[in-house]
Structure 1
């Protein structure tokens, strides 16, 4: 049965979530994002995690639009199945297809990728093993279980097995010292994460790290500070 709130608009949901975050964290909501001065923003691909949908990014996509990104340069991919019943490699091929589609539609040589939770692993596999790295200017990992999570022992689905600490999949993914080439990489995570266990498993070697004291894994995508930081790093001028 659908929740009585199923027909609430995304903007209304965003206002509700930000209000709840302000109560839980004791922080005021972040100010509205200001349009950037860049003449043409790099397209952004958003990649969700296990049991999520593209709707998980509604607050973040809204912030990017407020910051000046045209709607057609923002795309949240829908991965299927989203419940971990297929290996992460299968999701990575879907990420590749979505990335190439976004590049083709926008005419962009490179895109930016914002990936959450398992989506960070799917994106990394595409970048590292399927040749996607040269197509990515900046990669933002949000609470990705890069070194596994003990919570993955709760289920035996293929993707969950791959996300267990010291799994064969993760050992292979982490075997290279510097897989990023000229892609700028960022790792955003919360020490209070109870889904990525231990929480510092979300740290990513070679990435610029930022920690946010957000009280729950899923709230990372709606936390004002995380949203502002994500927009900020993708709006920065290219490094010289």
Structure 2
């Protein structure tokens, strides 16, 4: 084994450990809280908002921490809101989205079925951040999700993978590096631009009929690069660059899904286009 490769294995493990350690102490308590404060399976969608909303977290996140602001925002507007954990790795607590993405999509499939059965709704809407804004496309395309989903909103999604500002292009210069990453955290390897997973996902077109797609991106995204790779092509796609709505919005990748109220306003517009209103910088105050 090459000397650098011996170092890469513990380095990968160290990065995973550091990601777990970086989760605030409050997150541990939040993740153990029953039903996250939403996930109310007795909730029945209203005539105004007839579909439950399923929130899909990103890589190194979980069903609680990713949605501490958006979930209450949507609940306050009368939606039945749900979220799931997916992509767990053995021995890695609190942070998820690290397992093979096709298997994560199967977890989403089962969860949407559970939500529809509980609420009595015929279809759900999906809102995802980062990997959570891309992974559901596998469910829609290959696992029958298009028949059960009306609207899908991706916030900073890595729809065509990421180069991490060019860093992933260095992997071929280190023989075996890609295999090490795929073994330690296959969900990360699947998101690298040019991966076999993404080739399958995007073959034959970005979208499937019957689903309304919205993509919300920021030009300051430092995780999914280039940011333009987030956008989808299709006849029922609304691609949004947040700076075109508010040039003063400097949110990067994480903040776009965690706290950006301008993004939240666009999410609300996508979920209920009949009552949509113009999104401006003032939408951050709504």
Please give the TM-score of this superposition, normalised by the length of structure 2.
0.66
1:216 counterpart residue number: 252
The runs of 5 or more residues in structure 1 that have no matched partner are: 10-36
1:103 counterpart residue number: 116
Q: Which has the higher contact order (CA 8 A, sep 6+)?
A: 1
Q: CA offset at residue 177 of structure 1?
A: 2.5
Q: Which residue of the other structure, out of 268, 277, 280, is the alignment partner of 1:231?
A: 268
Aligned pair 1:114/2:120, yes or no?
no
**Greater fraction helix:** 2
Aligned pair 1:162/2:172, yes or no?
no
Q: Is the 8 A contact 1:84 1:158 kept in 2?
A: no
- Misfit runs of 4+, over 2 Å: 1-9, 37-41, 82-85, 151-155
Q: How does 1:18-167 map to 2 (within 5 A)?
A: 38-55=47-64, 56-69=66-79, 73-81=80-88, 82-83=95-96, 85-151=98-164, 153=168, 156=181, 157-167=185-195
What does the per-residue CA deviation read over 1:129-183, in whole Å, with 9 as the maximum and x for residues that have no partner?
1111111100101111111111383881312211111211111111123642111
The more displaced of 172-181 and 57-66 is: 172-181
Change in Cα spacing, 1:172 to 1:105, as seen in structure 2 (3 Å) is same
Q: CA offset at residue 84 of structure 1?
A: 5.0
RMSD of aligned Cα (Å): 2.5
Instruction: Please say which structure displays the higher CA radius of gyration.
Output: 2
2:225 counterpart residue number: 197
Matched position secondary structure for 1:150:
coil
Q: Is the 8 A contact 1:110 1:136 kept in 2?
A: yes
What does the per-residue CA deviation read over 1:174-209, in whole Å, with 9 as the maximum and x for residues that have no partner?
112364211111111111100001111111112211
The runs of 5 or more residues in structure 2 that have no matched partner are: 1-20, 31-45, 89-94, 172-177, 244-249, 276-286
| Alpha-carbon distance between aligned partners in 1 of 2:101 and 2:210, rounded to the nearest angstrom | 24
Please give the TM-score of this superposition, normalised by the length of structure 1.
0.78
Change in Cα spacing, 1:40 to 1:234, as seen in structure 2 (3 Å) is closer
| Alpha-carbon distance between aligned partners in 1 of 2:28 and 2:102, rounded to the nearest angstrom | 34
Change in Cα spacing, 1:176 to 1:6, as seen in structure 2 (3 Å) is closer
